[in-house]
Amino acid sequence: MTTVSLSPWKTREERERDREVKREAVLRAAARAFNEQGFHRTSLDEVAERLNVSKPTIYYYVKNKDEILFECVRIGLERLDAASRATHAGGGTGLDRLIALWTEYARIVTEDFGRCLILVGEDPLPAETRRELRALKGKIDHRFRGVVEDGIADGSIRPCDPKLVAFAGAGALSWIARWYDPKGPLDVDAVARQIIDVLVRGIASPRKDEGGTRPATRRRGRGG
């Protein structure tokens, strides 16, 4: 027989779950404000106003603005970390996994916390907390390089410098966070596909011996 509680008060688990939901709402509202107007120009009064609560209510969930930024960047990094771990351990060629990882990267950096990671980052924070976040960044970068190295080993990626390829991909895809408009004609996956295609194939037309034609280069004489 199931016992139904008649208490009007929430259980400890329900209170903790409710607090986490509200804390994430505080972080998300702050992340959006930071993304729109910058970290230093955003006050906790504005964050509270966005949530229709008082400023003291904000302090129930976070200590200060630095903690908010730390958590926003950490969440963005942890999502990238999870994606890189899952992709690194996944099946397919190195190139297949790199494309999957880059696609997920583009999705994450167009979300609230991912955009905060790119647009604001950890630079405004104290040195100790910057080091903690940068250590996580380093782990993610090494996984990106590892996928490239796997592709070189299995022949799906031509011999290259894995570090440069990882940096080039992250750099190109990070810029999506700065200009992407979800109300535009392309969704983030379509944007990611085109950018990744350029990264994978380059922009030059294939040479004749590769089954295509390449625009002829006009040879100039001395007269111009």
Q: What are the extents of the domains in the chain?
A: 13-209
Give 100-145 pLDDT, tens digit per residue: 999 999 999 999 999 999 999 999 999 999 999 999 999 999 999 9
Give 41-91 pLDDT, tens digit per residue: 999 999 999 999 999 999 999 999 999 999 999 999 999 999 998 987 778
Query: What's the CATH code, domain 13-209?
Result: 1.10.357.10
Give 5-39 pLDDT, tens digit per residue: 677 777 878 878 888 999 999 999 999 999 999 99
Give 191-220 pLDDT, tens digit per residue: 999 999 999 988 777 665 555 444 444 444
Q: Residue 212 is encoded by which pair of tokens?
A: 């295509």
Q: Which of 71, 73, 65, 67 is nearest to 109 (CA)?
A: 73
**pLDDT value at residue 194:** 93
How many CA atoms lie less than 13 Å away from 11 in the CB half-sphere? 6
Q: Residue 164 is encoded by which pair of tokens?
A: 């440069």
**pLDDT value at residue 67:** 96
